[in-house]
Amino acid sequence: MTIVTSVRKMQAYSERVRGRGKTISFVPTMGYLHDGHFRLLKEGRKRGDVLIMSIFVNPTQFGPKEDYAQYPRDMRRDLGYARRAGVDVVFAPTVDGMYPDGFQTSITVAEVTKTLCGPFRPGHFQGVATVVAKLFNIVKPHVALFGEKDFQQLVVIRRMVRDLDMGIEIIGVPTVREKDGLAMSSRNKYLNGEERRAALCLYRSLMKAKKLVRSGERDSKRILREVHSIIKAEPLAKIEYVSLVDKETMKEVKKIDKKTLLAMAVWIGSTRLIDNFCLP
Amino acid sequence: MTIVTSVRKMQAYSERVRGRGKTISFVPTMGYLHDGHFRLLKEGRKRGDVLIMSIFVNPTQFGPKEDYAQYPRDMRRDLGYARRAGVDVVFAPTVDGMYPDGFQTSITVAEVTKTLCGPFRPGHFQGVATVVAKLFNIVKPHVALFGEKDFQQLVVIRRMVRDLDMGIEIIGVPTVREKDGLAMSSRNKYLNGEERRAALCLYRSLMKAKKLVRSGERDSKRILREVHSIIKAEPLAKIEYVSLVDKETMKEVKKIDKKTLLAMAVWIGSTRLIDNFCLP
């Protein structure tokens, strides 16, 4: 396994790989890997001759009051994970390498960022779209894989790739959960014992919604009411949003159909968790 | 010479060319070619194994009150020009092909667009950056050439390419002028006889500034005063802006140095002309 930190060297490497007619699959991460990433890497391993993973905690996608400084980092552990997953190259650039003096370009995906996390994290998806475009131009993948846990992010990337004709296949990989249902996330590390138990209310509420829809309920308001009441019963939880949206346009829907996504952001103490479920 | 209108086919063609280890040089245009374009194509011909030119009047870089509908078009004449210049492929996509339903992504280059044309043409450089990024992703060039007549555009593209790690060499090609000094532009077609003569005030004022600087003048205010007075002496001319800026940052300068650009936009009747000169 090779570790590359230089943008130029990564670009030259990928250019050579493509020149030999080989395909590149790519898993961009912010490190502190968990089994959700492992699943992405396993999928990626199948889909390209060369598997590249990036580790980069991207400052531009964090708001000024968000957890950029505290975001968990553990390069040694991540490299072990990558090796076991069969990664060929880890690309781990520096912040200065990615954003040299004078940097001033950003990519905006306008419509699909208007709901869910968009309004609560101004600039977040702009930061995500811009860094992913950079990573794509550096790593030059044929295929890139993203977790469905960050469903809106996946939609933003897909839209950007299509709109800018990037010619990269984007694959969404299902959320991996702990045994009790909590969606895996590097941010779960922030939770203490009590909060860890409280965090289950997200999954419980998603399951309840699923059950309602399976039993025939199609009215968004009634489903949202049930979801809200489950989360509100948990004293440590504070809802940021719970929404039912079309899973392509990210627009809110009044009636559930087969393209509906239930998505939520909930604070557990000082940790912000997101989760979602495709309904029905 | 091949003419391609499909985005997918163009992309596949360029992928094949690159796969064979050949280099691609690219000249994006809005058509209605003149000798300025011809010079770009001649330069492009030297710099790549395959020379691709695009013709696309891009609606998103025109403001609602600008001349998108009237912009001159003459595909047959353009194809003759391209053939004589040794173009291998003309890429001429449709508006729907470039901006299908649901399109919503844009690229902003923030700082270098704050002066000169930026404030007078809101959204223009966003439209330019976005369409050029798309064209780059479709045509996959190693080298792309742009005219220095649109100097700020050249700076915007250079900045975007560097910031997004596009790995494309951007080459600026000097402005081509008519015998009497008028910078070549497809928009010169809008000028009637009287306006055509009036339009010379741009070049005259640039030459005057050059002379002043050559004779030792370094004070921006004094140079701008002279330039203004020459243009104002022409009754058909109306100044939009005249500025002295650093030719990389596009920031206004008080003192002339070897990185200074004198740039202007002047209305001649209902035609907006731009011109510039690198000083001294």
Mean pLDDT of chain A: 97
Using the beta-carbon criterion (under 8 Å), do A130 and B103 form an inter-chain contact? no
Could you report the per-residue pLDDT of A217-226, keeping only the tens digit for each? 999 999 999 9
**Shortest alpha-carbon distance between residue A35 and chain B (Å):** 30
In the set B37, B124, B142, B228, the catalytic residue is B37
Could you report the per-residue pLDDT of A98-139, keeping only the tens digit for each? 999 999 999 999 999 999 999 999 999 999 999 999 999 999
CA angle at A161 for the pair B143 and A175, rounded to the nearest 5°: 140
The answer to whether residue B39 scores a pLDDT higher than 90 is: yes
Q: Give the N- to C-terminal CA distance of chain B in Å, as an integer.
A: 42
Q: Report the pLDDT averaged over residues B181-205.
A: 97
Q: Tell whether B96 is within 8 A of chain A (Cβ).
A: no
Length of chain A: 280
Using the beta-carbon criterion (under 8 Å), do A105 and B138 form an inter-chain contact? no
Q: Tell whether A159 is within 8 A of chain B (Cβ).
A: yes
- Inter-CA distances, B230 with A1, A36, B205, B234, Å: 66, 68, 6, 7
**pLDDT (0 to 100) of residue A83:** 97
CA angle at A68 for the pair A63 and A72, rounded to the nearest 5°: 150
Query: Residues with Cβ < 8 Å from B207, sequence gap 6 or more?
Result: B181
Kindly report the three-state secondary structure assignment for every residue of B135-171: HHHHHCCCEEEEEHHHHHHHHHHHHHHHHCCCCCEEE
Q: Does CATH number 3.40.470.10 belong to domain B186-278?
A: no
Mean pLDDT of chain B: 97
Q: Which residue of chain B is at minimal alpha-carbon distance from A99?
A: B163
**Shortest alpha-carbon distance between residue B220 and chain A (Å):** 25
CB contacts of A106 in chain B (<8 Å) are: 107-108, 110
Nearest to A163 among B15, B105, B167 (CB): B105
Region label for B49, one of left (φ > 0), alpha (ψ between -120 and 50) or beta (otherwise): alpha
**Shortest alpha-carbon distance between residue B188 and chain A (Å):** 32
CA nearest neighbour of A231 among A259, A266, A257, A196 = A266
ipTM of the complex: 0.97
Q: Report the pLDDT averaged over residues B250-258.
A: 97
**pLDDT (0 to 100) of residue A60:** 98
The answer to whether residue B149 scores a pLDDT higher than 80 is: yes
Percent of chain B at pLDDT exceeding 70? 100
pTM above threshold 0.95: yes
Q: Report the pLDDT averaged over residues B241-267.
A: 97
Nearest to B105 among A19, A104, A164 (CB): A164
* Chain A interface test: which of B107, B113, B135, B155 (most A C-beta within 10 Å): B107
Domains B2-173 and B186-278 belong to one CATH topology = no
Q: Report the pLDDT averaged over residues A198-227.
A: 97
Using the beta-carbon criterion (under 8 Å), do A104 and B165 form an inter-chain contact? no
Q: Report the pLDDT averaged over residues A130-151.
A: 98
CA nearest neighbour of B165 among A181, A136, A111, A209 = A136
Could you report the per-residue pLDDT of B167-189, keeping only the tens digit for each? 999 999 999 999 999 999 999 99
CB contact at 8 A, B119 and B126: no
Q: Which residue of chain A is at minimal alpha-carbon distance from B101?
A: A163
**Shortest alpha-carbon distance between residue B17 and chain A (Å):** 11
Query: In this structure, what DSSP letter does residue A71 have?
Result: S
Q: Tell whether B159 is within 8 A of chain A (Cβ).
A: yes
CB contacts of B134 in chain A (<8 Å) are: 163-165
CA nearest neighbour of B156 among B110, B188, B197 = B110
Window 112-151 of B, Cβ < 8 Å to A? 112, 129-130, 133-134, 137-138
Q: Give the N- to C-terminal CA distance of chain A in Å, as an integer.
A: 42
Q: Which residue of chain B is at minimal alpha-carbon distance from A12?
A: B167
**pLDDT (0 to 100) of residue A280:** 76
**pLDDT (0 to 100) of residue A43:** 98
CB contacts of B138 in chain A (<8 Å) are: 165
**pLDDT (0 to 100) of residue B280:** 76
Q: Which residue of chain B is at minimal alpha-carbon distance from A249?
A: B102
The answer to whether residue A196 scores a pLDDT higher than 80 is: yes
- The full set of domain ranges for chain B reads 2-173, 186-278
Domain B2-173 classification at class level: alpha beta
Residue given tokens 């007075």 in the structure block: B229
**Shortest alpha-carbon distance between residue B37 and chain A (Å):** 25
Active site residue A37: yes
Q: Tell whether B14 is within 8 A of chain A (Cβ).
A: no
Using the beta-carbon criterion (under 8 Å), do A134 and B107 form an inter-chain contact? no
pLDDT-based confidence at residue B87 (cuts at 50, 70, 90): very high
CA angle at B130 for the pair B128 and B131, rounded to the nearest 5°: 70
Q: Report the pLDDT averaged over residues A239-252.
A: 98
Could you report the per-residue pLDDT of B95-115, keeping only the tens digit for each? 999 999 999 999 999 999 999
**Shortest alpha-carbon distance between residue A129 and chain B (Å):** 10
Q: Which residue of chain A is at minimal alpha-carbon distance from B140?
A: A166
